[in-house]
Every structure is written in C-alpha cells, then in structure tokens.
C-alpha cells in the first residue's frame, strides 16, 4: 500500500480525486492510503437528513456518496482514505469495516486509550470517565441513549465501487470541537465528540497520522 501525505487540503478536490482514482484504476493498480486534514467542512452521507444539521452557519455542507450521515472535518483531525481493491485483498465489506475500526483501536492502545465499538454505530468511542479503562460501562444503556458515558473519537464512512473503496475514517487529535455541536453527529442527537487532547493525550498531528497509517497498512493487508 502506497501511503501519501496530502497535508491540509480542501475537501471537494480531494473527494473528486478519490472518485477519479477509483474510476480509473485497473486490476494491477496499487492500493493507496491518503492522509490529510481538511479546512472546516460538514459532509453529508447518502443516509443524511437535513434536520441533523442544526446550524451550519459559515461552514459549508457538502453532499457525498459515502454511507452514513453528517459529520465534521477540520484542522487537527487525521483523515485517512484507504483506496483498496477488496477483491484482490480477499475480504468483504463487513470485514473491511472491522479492520479499519481495529486499526483505530490499536492506535489508541498504543497511546494508553481503550477504544470501544457500539453495535450498529460504526466508529470508535471512549469512556468519558476513564478513557483508559477496558471495563464495560456498568448498568444498562437505554435504547434511546446507546452512547451513555461514551464519546466518539473516530468516525467512519465508506464507499465501495466495483470492489474498490474510497472515503474512510477521521480520528480526532487536537481540534476545535465546537462545530460538532452544530450537528447531530452521525445522526445521533446529543452524541458527545472528543479528541485525543481532551482526554489527556498530547500528540502532534504528524505523529498521530504516522501511527494510524502504520496500523491501517498492517490491518488492511491481504
């Protein structure tokens, strides 16, 4: 997998470049992993509802062809776009999603943080009261609030075309989290969003991007 660092790059041209790369690739095209951060932008997935954007104000809302609903991208967030031929890799979409989430979990473990999955809600979450804890939250979580006690630290939204993937994931490192309050993140009202900085991890964007890219490259290998 060829890893490309794109730096701070506008969302729309990057989105178009992913589509073009995927449309043009052939059976022998090498897989790539693009790493970047975007200027402030809300992106809306195919399942997105306008009502989940509460107050975009001066931040653009861009419709996309990925799965999921609305999320926010901004400086201080590592965005990773795996451009992968799943047929050649030898696994299906469900396992692809699992492997991406596992790469995030292993990245967090390296930093002393425990990542948690929530059934039916792609992405990775951490315990707000004790981000390093491996223990499950005590007490039942009502169906109306499956995220009680959790904060979302990584979002996931993908597209698969002709067995090839684009879009990807976003890991919050050290960013302005206020724009998340202008939306229902991933369609969930009141879902708290956190970054590594707010849970006590001091790491540069470059260090986080390097760590995540190595976990992804290893985890997505055939």
Q: Which residues contact 11 (CB under 8 A, 6 or more apart)?
A: 38, 39, 41, 43, 62, 73
Structure tokens at 174: 């050290």
| 61 token code pair | 């809302």
From CA 215, how far away is CA 59, in angstroms rounded? Answer: 31
Active-site pick, 154, 177, 186, 212 = 186
Take residue 87 and report the two structure tokens written for it: 């047929």
Per the annotation, the verdict on 164 as an active-site residue is no
Q: Which run of H or E residues covers position 153? A: strand 150-161
Q: Tokens 């890219």 belong to which residue?
A: 213
Q: CA–CA distance from 161 to each of 19, 81, 136 (Å)? A: 9, 14, 36
Q: Which two tokens stand for residue 216?
A: 């992804």
Q: Determine which helix (DSSP H) or strand (DSSP E) holds 205, and give its type and residue range.
A: helix 205-219
Residues recorded for the chain = 222
Q: How many other C-beta atoms can be found within 10 angstroms of the C-beta atom of residue 74?
A: 21
Residue 93 tokens read as: 């979409």
Active centre residues (catalytic)? 186
């Amino acid at each position: 997998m060829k890893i490309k660092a794109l730096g701070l790059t506008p969302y729309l041209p990057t989105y178009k470049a992913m589509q073009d790369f995927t449309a043009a690739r052939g059976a022998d095209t090498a897989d790539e992993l693009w790493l970047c951060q975007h200027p402030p932008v809300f992106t809306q997935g195919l399942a997105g509802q306008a009502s989940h954007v509460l107050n975009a104000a001066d931040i653009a809302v861009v419709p996309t062809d990925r799965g999921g609903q609305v999320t926010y991208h901004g400086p201080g967030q590592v965005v990773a776009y795996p451009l992968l031929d799943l047929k050649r890799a030898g696994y299906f979409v469900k396992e692809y999603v699992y492997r991406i989430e596992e790469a995030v979990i292993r990245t967090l473990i390296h930093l002393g943080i425990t990542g948690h999955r929530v059934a039916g809600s792609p992405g990775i979450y951490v315990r707000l009261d004790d981000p390093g804890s491996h223990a499950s939250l005590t007490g039942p979580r009502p169906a109306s609030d499956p995220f009680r006690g959790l904060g979302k630290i990584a979002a996931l939204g993908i597209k698969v075309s002709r067995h090839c993937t684009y879009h990807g994931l976003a890991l919050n490192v050290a960013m302005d989290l206020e724009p998340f309050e202008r939306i229902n993140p991933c369609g969930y009202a009141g879902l708290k969003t956190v970054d590594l900085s707010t849970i006590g991890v001091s790491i540069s964007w470059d260090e986080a991007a390097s760590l995540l890219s190595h976990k992804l490259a290893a985890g997505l290998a055939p």
